[in-house]
Amino acid sequence: MASEKILVVDDDPAILNLVSRYLTHQDFEVESAKDGETALERFEQFNPDLVVLDINLPDTTGLKLCPEMQSRTGVLVLMLTSEANLEAPGLIGGADDFISKPFKLEILDARVRTLLKRQRSVGDIEQRSLTYGDLVINPARREVYVSDRLVSLSALEFDLLYCLAKKPGRVWSREEILKEVWEVSYIGEQRVVDVHIGQIRKKIEPDKDKPALIKTIRGVGYMFDRRDQDP
């Protein structure tokens, strides 16, 4: 089977070389770019399966490049960011996942493989649809509707929502969610769960500040609450 193709985009030469060499050693086919213009050129020529994309570039931003690339091929995007960028408007809504700097290469590898595995499994899911009031989750088509309106979720956001919704009433710790959805266990990245939950709430909750579906269980994690959605 041909190796998956990954485009790495970062304006820091040290990070660009380190990540590119590491992923090459993991048997991926890798191309790299240090700015947005070069990234788009390589993107068209290389047609990658996944882009590792830095949020800060000398001639543009990852926030602008991400939707442009996805509109062309539906490519997966793993955003590289810093803690200060976590609340950037549209960050999580565009990227399929993100990882904050500094990061361990092993964690990057795990995130990349999880995203690519998710891509390969699309269309092979034979799980039942879930309906809670106005919310409908269809795992076979990987679609979510609220009041008959199609909601745009990233691949990872969908998997996170389905993980919680398929077991309503169960309380999940952040570490359990990381293992189930990201397929990694890394205590330092638990913040990523909170950010993605926040993005999902904005898209499916009538009032994101008073969530009725995804409840925060203080000191533990999160729970999908179906009670107010049942007839």
Instruction: Provide the residue-wise pLDDT of the chain in tens; the chain has 231 residues.
Output: 468 999 999 999 999 999 999 999 999 999 999 999 999 999 999 989 999 999 989 999 998 899 889 888 878 999 998 765 555 555 555 788 888 888 899 989 988 998 888 765 544 444 678 999 899 999 888 889 999 999 988 888 898 999 999 988 899 999 899 888 887 666 556 778 898 899 899 999 988 788 999 999 998 999 999 776 554
d(CA 75, CA 50) in angstroms, rounded, equals: 6
Please, which residues bridge with residue 54 across strands? Answer: 80
- What are the φ and ψ backbone dihedral angles of 196, each rounded to 5 degrees? -70, -40
d(CA 20, CA 164) in angstroms, rounded, equals: 34
Contact 197, 153 (CB under 8 A): no
* 130-229 maps to CATH 3.20.20.80: no
pTM: 0.68
Three-class DSSP category at 134 = coil
- Other beta carbons within 10 Å of 228: 9
Contact 18, 32 (CB under 8 A): no
Q: Where are the domains of the chain?
A: 5-121, 130-229
Contact 59, 11 (CB under 8 A): no
Three-class DSSP category at 198 = helix
Burial class of residue 114 (count of CB atoms within 10 Å of its CB; 0-12, 13-18, 19+): buried
- Identify the CATH number of the domain defined by range 5-121: 3.40.50.2300
d(CA 130, CA 66) in angstroms, rounded, equals: 30
DSSP symbol at 56: B
